[in-house]
Structure 1
Amino acid sequence: AVAMFTAALHPLVKALVAISSGVDDPEIIDRLGPKPLLVIHGEKDTRNPLDQAVELYNRAGEPKELVIYPGVGTNLVGSKVELREKLGTWLSEQLGESDAYSAALDARNGPYPDIDRPISPEGSDSPRHLALTRDDMVDMEVDAIVSTAASWLDFEHNTLSGAILERGGSQIQEQLWAQAPLFIGDVAVTGAGSLKAGRIFHAITGGDHSGDTLTMDEVVTITTRDVLALGNSLGLKTIAIPAIGTGNRGFPIEKAAQIMVTIAASHLAGQTTLEKVTFAVVSDGVYRAFESLLTLLPE
């Protein structure tokens, strides 16, 4: 979960340290030294996180690869949206145009090429495709992207859904709220707002159950199966899916990869309108887990 979160935040962010006391900050920064660092603001800390980001950034050694992200208890900024805008602007100014940023992007994308494996459906000579990419799913031009949410349907508690809200617009959140209540195992459909995708499938993977409690194995299995079935029922051709359950839910990435690749390959081999299923992942570990399985499939 940590690796996924840090990679999604910024390619220069490689490590995570939790800080909840102003007294601890200098000691922690000095001990870690000049290395990429993400500081998670303590939930009960009342300092302004943007000011603290600048202070810690200035304290850090070279290269300047330090950023702070607020905890949910931060209360000195008017709203999370305002904070995200200010922090994003500051981060771009400090890191976004630097040589280090470009180098980090090259390093991230270089060893992680897109993988595409053909799946031969029964009774057809035209193969379908099972793919893996580290491209930003929120920016992908596909018929549908899959996002995960908890049953309280608040986008700001999840890195992926938060990016969807910020870049796609608040109407996506409003469309999802209109479909409440939703429970673990449900999948809701909304428009994609300003995004390039045709629509968004919101898979509920945390929060409240409507009946019997599901294990995370069952949640990942049901969610993968149902989003693909939904894509087929809507006549879609392309869909992008994240590594379900491996973020905030902490599901083992190897198990997620095994479940999702198996189900997707089976779906594409059967009767479906889907022509391409893409796993869009953000962390090194998740990529490697999916890569190890996809490379077992014939090219």
Structure 2
Amino acid sequence: MRYRLVLGDITRLKVDAIVNAANRTLLGGGGVDGAIHRAAGPELRETCRRLGGCETGDAKMTPGFALPAAHVIHTVGPVWKGGGRDEEGLLASCYRNCLRLALENGLRSVAFPSISTGAYGFPVEKACRIALNEVAAFVDVHADAFDEIVFCCFSASDRDVYRVLMQELGLAFDQA
């Protein structure tokens, strides 16, 4: 199993699943969510409409349609309200539930954006630490389940935070 750190557009990654940092309707929005819906095509919205939304911290899966990724795992991250509303626990749950869905469906490679750090305002370093700890803990338990976990950052500053924390946590990774 390898970790990869990428600066770029998650909609261009050829992996078994990309994770969509979605809103509760799953019908598209801004940021990563809007980009994924535009790249996947109108079938994604129609499929998401039938899912009936998603609760914060949970995850649901759809086909990738026109994306290079075969699947999209949609998760709803928490809006940062200062840390007193279980935002950290809800964000951790996003990562666990995405990986659980990937495992249950035999997916070997998953790419994550930086969930909740855009419009939802979660502090990047705090969110990154949660992401890395949750993914590493899940992978430790399910060591043979995945070939690759990708952390795809839209900004160089986010990528730099991931790089520093991955090194600090002793996670070996490839960088692209």
Could you say which TM-score interval applies, normalised by the shorter chain?
0.7 to 0.9
Q: Is 2:41 the counterpart of 1:174?
A: no
Shift of 1:205: 2.3
- In the alignment, structure 2 segments of 5+ residues that lack a partner are none
Residues 130, 264 of structure 1: 8 Å contact kept: no
Partner SS, residue 114 of structure 2: coil
The residue that corresponds to 1:160 in the other structure is 32
Aligned partner of 1:241 in structure 2 is 112
Q: Is contact 1:168–1:194 with CA below 8 Å preserved after alignment?
A: yes
CA contact (8 A) 2:26 2:74 kept: no
SS in 2 for 1:165: helix
- One-letter identity of the residue aligned with 2:116: G
Contact 2:41 2:65 in 1 (8 A): yes
Deviates more, 1:264-273 or 1:249-258: 264-273
TM-score (norm 2): 0.87
Residue in structure 1 matched with residue 8 of structure 2 by the alignment: 135
Alpha carbons 2:18, 2:72 under 8 Å: kept:
yes
Change (3 A) 1:214 1:153: farther
Q: Which amino acid aligns with 1:274?
A: F
Query: Residue 219 of structure 1: CA displacement?
Result: 1.9
Q: Structure 2 CA distance, aligned partners of 1:200 and 1:181?
A: 14
1:274, distance to aligned residue in structure 2 (A): 1.4
Aligned residues of 2:78 and 2:91 also touching (Cα < 8 A): no
User: What amino acid is aligned across from residue 96 of structure 2 in structure 1?
Assistant: R
Percent identity over the alignment is 25
Q: Distance in 2 between matches of 1:223 and 1:214?
A: 15
CA distance in 1, matches of 2:49, 2:171: 43
Could you state the TM-score of these two structures normalised by the residue count of structure 1?
0.52
Structure 2 residue aligned with 1:151, among 17, 21, 24?
24
For 2:96 and 2:19, the matched residues in 1 are separated by 12
Shift of 1:154: 3.1
How many equivalent residue pairs? Answer: 166
Structure 1 residue ranges without an equivalent (≥5)? 1-127, 208-212
Aligned counterpart, 1:268: 139
Is contact 1:149–1:206 with CA below 8 Å preserved after alignment? Answer: no
Which structure would you say has the larger RCO, counting Cα contacts within 8 Å and 6 or more residues apart? Answer: 2
State the distance in 2 between where 1:129 and 1:239 align: 11
Residue aligning to 2:167: 295
- For residue 188 of structure 1, give the secondary structure of its aligned residue in structure 2: strand
Which residue in the other structure is 2:55 paired with? 183
2:59–2:76: 8 Å Cα contact kept in structure 1? yes
Q: CA deviation at 1:206?
A: 5.1
* 3-state SS in 2 of match to 1:226: helix
AA partner of residue 18 (structure 2): I
Structure 1 consecutive aligned stretches of length 4 or more whose deviation exceeds 3 Å: none
Distance in 1, Cα, partners of 2:26 & 2:71: 17
Change (3 A) 1:172 1:294: same
